[in-house]
Structure formats: C-alpha cells, structure tokens
Structure 1
Amino acid sequence: MPPSHRRPPRFAVGCALAAFAAVLASPAWADPAPSFAELLAQLDQTPATLEAGALSDAAEARVRQARVRPNPTIALDAENAFGTGPFSGYANAETTLSISQDLELWGRRTARVNVARAEAGTAALQRDLAVIDAAGRLAQVYADAEAAQRRAVLAEESLTLTIADARAALVLVEEGREPLLRGIQGESEAAAARASRDEAVAERDAAFARLTAVAMLAAPVTAIDASLLDLAPASTFAAPEDAPTVRVAEAQRAAAERRIDVERIRSRPDINASVGVRRYEMEDATALTFGVSMPLPLFDRNRGNIDAAQADFRAADARLLGARQEAQADRAAARARLAASVSRVSAADAGVASAEEAYRLSRIGTEAGRISQLELRVTRTALISARTSAVDARLARVQAEIELARQDGRAPFQGAQ
C-alpha cells in the first residue's frame, strides 16, 4: 500500500492512544467530586456515625443516672379516726409523718455504676467501629465510582479503536485485499462496542449517584478527579488483638461479668430505714418513730437471674475467643490479599504496556498487508482486556486495603489511629 494510505490510520491510532492517556490522567467532566480525604473528614455527619454517637451519649447518660441514689419516700398515716364510739371523730386520732430511705447496702450502687460504665465503654467502642465501617464503605463506594468512570473511558476508547479498525477494514475491502465479510464483521463489532459504551456510561452514572448519596453531597457527582485507585496502601503495625471487633468483644465480656455481681447483690435483702413524727391528739403530745424493714428471702433469692447472668458471661467469653481467632485469621488473609493485589497491579500495568505495543505493531502490520484483520482484532481485544484488568486490579487493591484497615482499627489509606 502506498505511504499515503498508511499514514492516516497510524496517525489515528496514535491520537486515540494519546487521547485515552489524557482522559485517564485528567477527566473531561466538570465539577469533580471532593477527594476521599475531604469526604473522610466529613464522616461524622453520616447517619451511621450520628447513630453510633447518639447511642454512646445515651450510655454515658445512663452512667450519670446510675450514680444517683434512690429518692426517699414520705408517708402520712392517720389511725383511730372517724370510727365509732370514742373514735367517732378525730379527737383520739394518731397521725404519723415519716420518711423512709433505701440504704443500698452490700455495694448495690457501686455494682450498678460499674455495669453502666462497662456498657458505656462498649458503646464507645461500637461507635468507633461504626466510624471505621462507615469509612470503609465510603472508600468502597468511592473506588467503585472511580472504577466505573475508568471503565466508561475504556469503553469509549474501545469504541474509537473499533471504529478505526472497521474503517480500515472497509478500505481494504474496497481495494479487494479483504473479503466483504471483514467489513460486515467490523460493523458488527462497532455496534457491540457502542452498546458496551452505553452500558458502561450507565454504570458510571449509577456509581456516581451512589457516591453522592453515601457521601451526602449537596451536588451530584459528575466526575472523580482525585484518584483513590492509584493510592498506595498504608503501612501498619497493629497487632491482631487490637482489632476493633476484639475490643468490642472484650468490653461486652467485662459488662457481662459485672452483671453477675449486680444479680448476686440483688439476692440480698434490700434494707430500708425510716424515721418520723407521731401526733397523739388525745394526749396532745408527739413522739418520734423509727424503724428498719427488709424482705424475708424465703422464696425469691434471685437464683434464676444469677444463673442467667453467668450464662450470658460464658456466651460473651466464647464470643471473645471467636473474635480473637477470627481477627487473627482475617488479618493474615487481608495482608496476603493486599500483597497479592499489589503484585497484580504491577503485573497488570506491565500487561497494558505490552498490549499497547502489540496493538500498535499489529496495526502497522495490517496497514502493510502483513497481518490479517483477524489478528488485529485479537490484539485489540487483548488491549481492551489488559486495560480492564488494570482497573480491576486497582479496585481489588482498594478492597484489600479496606479489609486490612478494618482489622487495624483505622480508616483506609490512613495511618494507624
């Protein structure tokens, strides 16, 4: 083929590759979304975080309430009044005004406060875990949106390359160097590429909508400029027992243990002391009254509640053991997946470079008549697959970092907290 017939297709391919690289480096859409770090700084306004914070505040309020002593009871009693005979009126009545108070012996108040403090500690740890989970969800949605954006760019680039190859095939068909079937196949591939592009654009818009909702943004997301897929994972040194799930399980076990003390103390008599003044109308005199009352533990000794509290403690102890084992296994698996995903990203990038060079050489060979259209389609498909694999590899690396960050008790791509 004369040089005048070969140069335009080469130039078109070069422009397509350059345009693809430019689009990946700087998206063309306006009004990009805030960066992941900026969204992470606003995480305390998300519903899940607000709910966990409110539950923690409620637990702290219950601690303050547990410190309060019970209110005294005031009573006014009248005897020997408005009856018959000498008690027909109020002249022989006896009136008593008394105040009684629960003494809260046996450490009742201390045990109650200890349980409330333990539950407040559990609520605080659960709040921290909720914040970590919310950060992980935000990172996942952000990465999904960025990956969808890149896939839409890839689909557009695939359509551009497919149309360019289809036009080149039609030129060869017109020159009689390729059968008419090649032109029909090229048109069919271009139609399929258009459908794939439209689907990728729809997935991108859906991912942007999810990010807008999860991040509670006032304006809809139309583009992602600050990349999360290209960030390197954070290096951490947290021990497996420091996992948030383990700390929560430890706090729940401590609270369950303290509930046993509360139930044991409740089996002891609840003693009340009273003091009062009695008025004798007939003698026109007054006298003090005082007394102590307590229930007789003949029937109810709170054994059922004690046994239930002990069973709850055994269950909490088993949950703690399971949480420690799961944290150790999950963290080892997360570190392995993260290391594998880092290697996969490097391999995917190398594969993209090789596929781009192979496609470039195939296009040159096709223009020179040394390579068939079938081989060109194979290299183009390999290039598209390699670029898609590179996006998938980066998304897998983000997912591995999210999982490891949860085990470390931190936000993804942030230093250990």
Structure 2
Amino acid sequence: MRSRYLVLGATFLLSGAWFPACAAAPVVPPLTLGQAIELALSSNPSLRVAGHSAAIADGARLQAGLLPNPELSVLREGVQRAGRTQTVQISQPLELGGKRAARVRVAELDQTLATDTLRVTAAGLRADVTAAYFEVLTAQERATLAQGALELANKARSAASRRVAAGKISPVDESRSTVAAAGAQLELATAQAELAGARRRLAALWGGSLPLEQPLILPEPTSLPPLATLRAGLESTPQLQRAASQVAREAAQVRLEQAQRMPDMAVIVGSKKDTELGRSQALLGLSIPLPLFNRQQGNLLSALRRAEQAKAELAVTRLELEQGLADAYQRAELAQLQLDTIRTGMLPAAKSALDATVTGFELGKFNFLDVLDAQRTLSQVRTQYLNAMSERYRALADVQRYAAPDQTESTK
C-alpha cells in the first residue's frame, strides 16, 4: 500500500500539477500595426539620418547670423631706429545691402527644408511599415491555407489508399494522390519560407536583423474617406510642403545674390607712431571694393534659374501626388470588390464542391481526377483571394503614402 502511494505521489509531481506556474508557457503579446509604426519611427536608421540633417541645419542657421570678425594688423616701416614707424590698425567689415538678413533667411528656410525632409521620410517609413505589416499578414494567411491544402491532400491520399486496398480503383489514382500531397507539402514549405522573409523585412524597418517572432493581428476593417476629401488635403502632405519650402528657399537665395551685388565696406581705425620722434598719429579710413568686373552676375542668374526649377518641381510633385493617389484609391476599391466577391461567393462554393467531391470519391461516386480538379479549383480561388488581399493592403499603404497623414488614420 505504501509503495502505491509513493507511485501516485511521483506521478502527481511529474505531471506538473504541483507547479502550475512552471508548466505554463509564456504568452507573447501580439504586435499591432500602431506599435510597429511607433517602433520603426523610434529606431529606423534612415529616419535617424534625416534627424541629423535637421540638426546640421540648426548649426548653419547659427553660423549665418554671426557678424564678420574684425582684423588686426601691425606694420613696421624701416629697420634702423632713425626714421622707423609702426602702424597698428583694426579693420571691421560692414555688410551692406541686407546681406546678413538675407543669409539668415536662407538658413532658416534650409532648416524648414530639413524638417520637411524628416516629415517626408517619416511618412514614407509609416507607409513602408504598413505595407510590410500587411505583407506578413498575407504570408501568414498563405501559410495557413497551404497547411489546409496539405491536410486535404493527405485526406484524399488516405481515401485513395483505402480504395486501392479494397480493389475499387487503380493504383494509378493512389500515385496521383501521392504526387498531389507532395506538391501540397512543397507549397507549404514555400509559404513558410515567404512568411519568414516577410517577418525579417518587417523587423529590418526598425533595425532588427532577425525575423520577427511576435504574432500579428489584422486591424479592424475600415473604409477609405472619399477621394475628393483626400485630394482636398494634398496641400498639407509632407511632399508638397517640402516642395513649397524649396520654392521659398530658392526665392530667398535670389534675394541673397541680389544683396551680394552691393560691395561691403570696411572701417579702419588705427595709430601710426614715429619711434625716432616719439609722435603718434591717429588713423581713420574706409575700404570699399569697386565692383567693376565681378558683380555676381553668374550667381544671380543661377539663383533665378533654380527658382524657376523649384516652381516646376512643385507642379510636378503635385501632379504625381494626384495621379498616385487616384491610382492607389482605384486599386484599393477594385481589390475590395474582388475580396467581397471571392469571400461571399467563389470561396464557399469551391470549398463546398471539394468537400462534396472528396466525400463522393470515398463513396465511389467520383474518380480521383474529379478530386484533383476540385482541389485545383479551390487552390486557384484561394490564390485569387490572397492576391486581392495583398493588392488591397499595398493600395492602402500607397494611399497613406500619398495622402495627408491625418486623413489616413482610419486606414491604419
């Protein structure tokens, strides 16, 4: 009796019931799309580079507002004490024509451009994370469907083996079922490899070198705002704001080059001493260069041409955003229509047809070619569904890339 209790006690301990906390597996929380975007915005290397550019522009703005340094010069005339003179003078350049204010304005607009570039990079990164996140979700769905297809193929192979053993069908059908199961196994391996690659590409957006291990969850389906609303907000997109800032910057550069045509003046103050007589004389003078040859003609012409180029680039950017937004919106609507059609009609019908064909094959009502044809049809429908889902995800990411950020919050 005592040995019996010992055995029961050992069984109880080994079963893990005595230490339920040790037996429980750790639960990994899922990674939401918003968390993935925040993680990329805080850790992406390209975004850090753009942030450094903005910091560099701050230093350039500080430098642009500084006054020119004065110059100290000492001149001694003669080597003998008799007749030797020594001159000490300070020269202070004075910028005329509003050069300093124009230079500061250009530096301030360079700051704005750097900030706008940072916002453009962040918007592009947000869209890239969205596309990569949905790519992982699509790969997950593809792997799940491949696993289901493998289970169906194995079920059909088992049924074929039983019917061959019963002498009801030819062994050729069993060979076909084996080939179909092997093909399904290969598709599953391919889908799992694609899933691992998609997870690795998503993790790379925040500097990760290993595939993402956390599970992902599909965001709640939301509808896009009307296209007219998205178009009305194009002026507030980071891309157009950067292009507009570039136009303002080039216009400020033109004003700076115009100011550079005014020659600067230097005020000279000093003293000249005769060492033999011990007398000193005060010096006061002005120095102004004569703009006879170099009047900044070439720099001004280049600045005017760059200003015109910036205006043309603004128009091109606006046109590209309008066309890209319209194309992405149309792709999203078409993909959603395909998803609705496949989900509500084609997919249930193909699944029902395959189930009925497999059941009929087990009962001897259909041959194995009918099973293969039903499997092929279901696989094609599932492929169309995955392609439509992937296309909608990419289209939503492109809409987010082209539209204003506050108008695409619902697509996240």
TM-score (norm 2): 0.85
User: Hey, what does 1:299 align to over in structure 2?
Assistant: 293
User: Hey, what does 1:6 align to over in structure 2?
Assistant: none
Which of 204, 218, 222 matches 1:232? Answer: 222
2:406 & 2:369 partners in 1: Cα distance?
48
Amino acid at match of 1:56: A
Q: Which runs of 5+ in 1 are unaligned?
A: 1-27, 83-87
Matches within 5 A, 1:6-405: 31=28, 34-42=31-39, 43-79=41-77, 81-82=78-79, 88-89=80-81, 91-217=82-208, 220-228=211-219, 231-232=221-222, 235=225, 237-238=229-230, 239=232, 240-350=234-344, 351-405=346-400
Name the CA shift for 1:356/1:416 in 2 (closer, same or farther; >3 Å): closer
Amino acid at match of 2:380: S
Equivalent pair of 1:246/1:320 in contact (CA under 8 Å): yes
- Encode CA deviations 1:32-60: one digit per residue, 9 max, x unaligned: 66222112122132101111111011112
2:32 & 2:332 partners in 1: Cα distance?
22
Amino acid at match of 2:129: L
2:358 & 2:26 partners in 1: Cα distance?
31
Secondary structure of 1:210's partner? helix
Equivalent pair of 2:223/2:411 in contact (CA under 8 Å): no
Percentage of matched positions with identical amino acids: 25
- Encode CA deviations 1:266-293: one digit per residue, 9 max, x unaligned: 2221211121222232332323211111
- Encode CA deviations 1:165-210: one digit per residue, 9 max, x unaligned: 1111222233333222211111111111112222222222222222
Secondary structure of 2:272's partner? strand
Which shifted more, 314-323 or 359-368? Answer: 359-368
Offset at residue 137 of structure 1 (A): 1.5
Name the CA shift for 1:29/1:200 in 2 (closer, same or farther; >3 Å): farther
User: Hey, what does 2:21 align to over in structure 1?
Assistant: none
User: Hey, what does 1:17 align to over in structure 2?
Assistant: none
User: Hey, what does 2:13 align to over in structure 1?
Assistant: none
2:386 & 2:349 partners in 1: Cα distance?
16
Name the CA shift for 1:117/1:98 in 2 (closer, same or farther; >3 Å): same
Which shifted more, 305-314 or 343-352? Answer: 343-352
Offset at residue 100 of structure 1 (A): 1.4
Equivalent pair of 2:54/2:115 in contact (CA under 8 Å): yes
Equivalent pair of 1:244/1:406 in contact (CA under 8 Å): no
Aligned length: 382
Amino acid at match of 1:34: L
Equivalent pair of 1:29/1:223 in contact (CA under 8 Å): no
- Encode CA deviations 1:329-365: one digit per residue, 9 max, x unaligned: 1111122112222222212322322222222222233
Secondary structure of 2:293's partner? coil
Which shifted more, 170-179 or 109-118? Answer: 170-179
1:55 & 1:266 partners in 2: Cα distance?
27
Equivalent pair of 2:70/2:91 in contact (CA under 8 Å): yes
Amino acid at match of 2:322: Q
User: Hey, what does 1:9 align to over in structure 2?
Assistant: none
Equivalent pair of 1:408/1:416 in contact (CA under 8 Å): no
2:136 & 2:400 partners in 1: Cα distance?
20
1:368 & 1:50 partners in 2: Cα distance?
65
Which shifted more, 337-346 or 64-73? Answer: 337-346
Offset at residue 218 of structure 1 (A): 8.1
TM-score (norm 1): 0.84
Amino acid at match of 1:49: L
Q: Which runs of 5+ in 2 are unaligned?
A: 1-24
1:224 & 1:382 partners in 2: Cα distance?
30
Instruction: Give the superposed CA RMSD.
Output: 2.5
